[in-house]
């Protein structure tokens, strides 16, 4: 005796694919004051855990962008300071001659 119902050919459930725009709109809805993630998930027709993953990914991407911009700015400032230091050393050596 089998407890698994027979599946008709072609009625197989498939994983849904959501566009980046759909995900961005859902994440933006979660960021609104007073909106719960569960309520947004129900309205959008997705699982709350999936929506939470999209929010986490969006937060990670924005944090990476901020860190990347800060690191680049720090590198530019460091290279400016290094160049100034080299110019001072060159001028000092040149003035000593």
pTM tops 0.85? no
- Entry field: residues in the chain: 97
Listed by start position, the domains of the chain span: 20-96
**Percent of the chain clearing pLDDT 90 (strictly above):** 24
Residue 23: C-alpha distances to residues 70, 73, 74 (Å): 27, 31, 33
Q: Dihedral through CA 13, CA 18, CA 23, CA 29, nearest 10?
A: -60
Three-state secondary structure string covering 26-78: HHHHHCCCCCCHHHHHHHHCCCHHHHHHHHHHHHHHHHHHHHHHHHHHHHHHH
Q: What is residue 52's predicted lDDT score, i.e. its pLDDT?
A: 94
CA 14 to chain centre: 26
76 against 90, higher pLDDT: 90
């Amino acid at each position: 005796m089998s407890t698994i119902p027979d599946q008709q050919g072609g009625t197989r459930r498939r994983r849904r694919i959501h566009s980046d725009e759909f995900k961005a709109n859902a994440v933006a809805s979660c960021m609104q004051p007073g909106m719960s993630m569960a309520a947004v998930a129900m309205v959008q027709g997705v699982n709350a855990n999936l929506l939470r993953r999209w929010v986490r990914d969006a937060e990670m991407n924005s944090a990476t962008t901020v860190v990347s911009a800060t690191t680049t700015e720090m590198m530019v400032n460091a290279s400016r300071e290094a160049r100034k230091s080299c110019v001072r050393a060159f001028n000092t050596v040149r003035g000593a001659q």
